[in-house]
Structure formats: C-alpha cells, structure tokens
Amino acid sequence: MIQPRKPVDSDPLPVLSVCHLEDECLLDGELFPLADLPVRLVERPPGGNDWEQIPAAIVATDDPGALVANLDRRFSRQGARNFMLWQWSLSLRPATVWLGGETTSYEALTPHVSWFGWAARRGTFHRRGGARRYIVLDALNWTDSDKILDGYPGRLVQQMGRFAADIQRFCREQRMRPRLTAASIASQLLRDRRFWPSRDRRKVPRATNDRVREQLPGNHYRLLALTRAGRPAKVAGTVLELDQINAHHAAAGLQGFPASDSLYAWGRFYAPVEKLRIVDLVADISELEGEHGLLLALVKGAGNGDPLVPPAVTHAGLKWRHVWTNELPLIAECGGQVAGIAAGWTSNVIDEGLNAYAWEAIQQLANSPPARRGWLKQALLATYGLLAAKPRGFTQLNKWGEGEQMAVTTRTGHTLHGRLRRTAETESETCNVIWRGLIESRVRAETISYARQLRDAGRRILSL
C-alpha cells in the first residue's frame, strides 16, 4: 500500500558553494580559497583567525567527483584526524555510453556523489553524537541542463549557492525533506497528503505495469514536409511554431485517471496478440462508457494515407491495436472504427489526486520567479516520468562497509576506491504506467486534433 507522506518541518541547512573553476568557496557570504576547505571542515586554528567548523550542510559544486576525491586523499590516510570515521557514498546509476561517433553503445554504471562527512562512530552514520553529513548538489548537471544557473546573479560560486538555497527553500515551503535531484523531489510529491489525503492506496501490480509499459505513446513527432530526391524544395516565406503551454500538466489536470484500488485487467490479456481471432472479442465499445485505461481492440483503420491520424488507425482493414480510452473520439473522427475489445486494463472509478497535483504545479510555475521556474519545471514534470519508472536495484559505493572492493572513475577522471553495496531489483510503489500513458496519449490526441483543425482552415502543416 502507498501511504501518504507526512509533512515535515525541517531546520534549514547552511549552503556551502565549492567552485573548482573559480578556485574558491562561499559560506554565509564569506569567500575563502578552495585550498582552505579541508582545514575549515575539521580544524580550528588558534589565534585571531579562529573559526568554527563548517556544520552539516548542503554542498553545491561544479565538480562533485573532484571535491570528494581531493577530500578523500586528505582525510582517509593513516594519521588523519578521525580517518576511520571519514565516509562518503556514491550512487551508481545505469546509463548508455556511446562509442565510435555514436554508432555503438553499451550500458554502464555512472557514479554520482550523494554525500560525504564523518560518522559518530565507526560503522554508523547517525546524525546525533557528533556526526556531520554534507549532501552534494551537482550544480552544473541538474537534469543535464547547463542553463539552470543563468537565472541567478553573481559569479559562478554565488550562482551555485543561490541555486542550492532556492531548492532547499522550495522543499521547506512544501514541507518536504530537502532533496537535491529532480526525481527525489518528485517522489515526495507523489505521496503528498494535499493530493492523496484520506487513505492509503493500492500499488498497481508489477505485471500490469510491465505489460502496459510496452504501449507507452511517448512524444509524438511527425515530419510532413519532406523533399523527394531530384525535386526542388518548397520554400515557406513565413513559418509559425505553436507550442502547447504546460502540455503535460494541462493533460493531467483534465484527464480522468483510473483509481489503482479498482484498476483491473480483464479479457484475454494473457493471449499473444498474433494468435487472437474475432471469436476472442469479449466486449463492445458501447459497454465501456466511463472506463479509463488501455484497451486491446480490433480496429478498422482509416487506410487513406492521411498523416494526421493517431497510430492506431494508419492501416487499412482490421488489425489488433492497443488503444487508449481518451483517443477513442479522435479515432472515430479520423474514420477509424473499433469493432470490439479483446482485453483491457481499466476502471470506472476516478482518482483525482493527480488532477489536483497538476493544477497545483501550474500555479507553482505561474507564481515562481524566473530563476526558480528554470529548474522547478523539470522537477514538477519528473513526477510523470516516475509513474513509468522501470524496476531497478540500487547500487552504491561507500568508503567503508561490507561488500566487494571496487574502484570507479568520475566524469572528470577522478578515481575513488570503496565497497560495493547492491539491493534487489524492485519497482517503486508509486509506479503507475497507466496514468503515464493516459497523459501522453491525451497530449498526442490534442496535438493531432489541433493540427487537423489548422489544416481544415487552410493552413499547411509542416511537422508535429
């Protein structure tokens, strides 16, 4: 069962900005050289230059790998102060690495620094008893965007500090725990009591998510103005590009989502599609009024070569197609016909939680200053991405601990040696691929419908 998250009122953490490009650090408005950071972390020099140790903090940096590698060389050697209590943790995430000019690829685990600090005692990392934990924000690689920091004033070291402080401020405003990745912020929003206040809700079965994931629509692209070889290209004097504002939030705000407590699979959903026959039809489309979800249907295609139709009706004759319930009106408009249903993953009970979240997200974006809007948009959209997250295990590399010894190299070429820890592959409790598919299919249907309206009004459609 998915339990609503309890609101959290957390004390603000100081923000330490560490900039390797500018070779300096910033803490509470005070600039000091990067070379002084190890001393500021653990020592209190005597005399007039006495300063307090830097407490547990959020560390925003342009190179997390270099930061931890340099500190590790300083604090992990024999004789260093509390060297056996020094600890760090890297998450190893799967990524596709391309070779040979992007002609071949392989799957690899790429390291991402999570935190570093000192434990209260060996083998533990409790916050009490003198432990200090510094959580790390990779400021130049927030969802792979290098423009996030442009909205904040000052030099790079100041921009990173203001960016990290803004993320923490947003999390505290939403009564969430401060988290420094878009996915970890989004995962808390999918359990928020403001949107799912009353009770626990059932997790969607993994088998359902696995089956539906294969039918996700994705973003719909179609290039219509192709030039054939040997023919001159048509030149348009004026081209107008239209964008759907807050397309996914608007779709999620208006779409009816089947409640996971009553979502069920029915019909011949176990049978391979290629072996289905007309006798396998178990329902007529007229019997599914009020149902929301995914259908396996026998569809008569439009068969007229029209490019502005949904993929389910591009063929001629009768074929088995997976159809999302919110595309049924468009299928009929395009000349397609659903002859019958063989299976479905649907419910006629509506869960309004995601609708409430979508409208709240639109309000948050409208009321946020431009600097915050630059990163908040990605964090709020990440909730929809998490709905279809694939099952995976978590792999961590820790300085100390049990597990096999392993060395990893960061993106900037710094090598760290630690102990590998793996967890079994699991699926997130909030995973609900049906919801993600309904959002994508609604956006696709709206795109195609609007393009058809423009074409009927005499406009030439170049691409979707």
Dihedral, CA of residue 132, residue 38, residue 112 and residue 174, to nearest 10: 50
Q: What confidence tier does 223 reach under pLDDT thresholds 50, 70, 90?
A: confident
Question: What pLDDT does residue 121 have?
Answer: 66
pLDDT at residue 294 above 90?
Answer: yes
Residue ranges of alpha helices (H) inside 19-97 are 37-42, 64-75
How much is the pLDDT for 54? 86
pLDDT bucket at 427, cuts 50 / 70 / 90: very high
Say how far apart CA 107 and CA 441 lie, in whole Å: 29
Report whether pLDDT(330) > 90.
yes
The pLDDT value recorded for residue 99 is 58
Cα–Cα distances in Å, from 233 out to 39, 227, 229, 307? Answer: 66, 6, 9, 19
pTM of the model: 0.89
Q: What is the CA radius of gyration of the chain?
A: 27
Average pLDDT over residues 192-215: 90
pLDDT score of 125 more than 60: no
Cα–Cα distance between 47 and 152 in angstroms, integer?
37
* CA 297 – CA 346 distance, rounded (Å): 13
Rounded Cα distance, 9 and 7, in Å: 7
Instruction: Kindly state the average pLDDT of the residues 409-433.
Output: 89
The top-scoring range by mean pLDDT among 71-85, 237-251, 378-392 is 378-392
- What pLDDT score was predicted for residue 127? 47
Mean pLDDT for the chain overall:
87
Q: Does the pLDDT value for residue 105 go beyond 80?
A: no
Say yes or no to pLDDT of 174 above 90. yes
**pLDDT at residue 74 is higher than 70:** yes
pLDDT in tens, 135-160: 999 998 886 677 889 899 999 999 99
How are strands ordered across the β-sheet holding 292-300?
A: 264-267, 337-347, 292-300, 318-324
CA–CA gap between residue 322 and residue 317 (Å, rounded): 16
How far is Cα 238 from Cα 462, in angstroms, rounded to an integer?
Answer: 12
**Would you call 167 helix, strand, or coil by DSSP?**
helix
Contact 344, 326 (CB under 8 A): no
| Residue 198 confidence (pLDDT) | 75
- What is the rounded CA–CA span in Å between residue 61 and residue 390? 29
What is the pLDDT, as a whole number, of residue 430? 93
Task: Return all residues near 185 (Cβ < 8 A) that are at least 6 apart.
Answer: 167, 170, 171, 176, 179, 379, 382
Residue 247: its H or E element? helix 247-254
Side chain identity at 69, as an amino acid letter?
A: A
40 Cβ neighbours under 8 A, 6+ residues apart: 25, 27, 32, 51, 53, 54
**Does residue 27 have a pLDDT over 80?**
yes
- Mean pLDDT of all residues in 403-422: 87
What is the pLDDT, as a whole number, of residue 384? 95
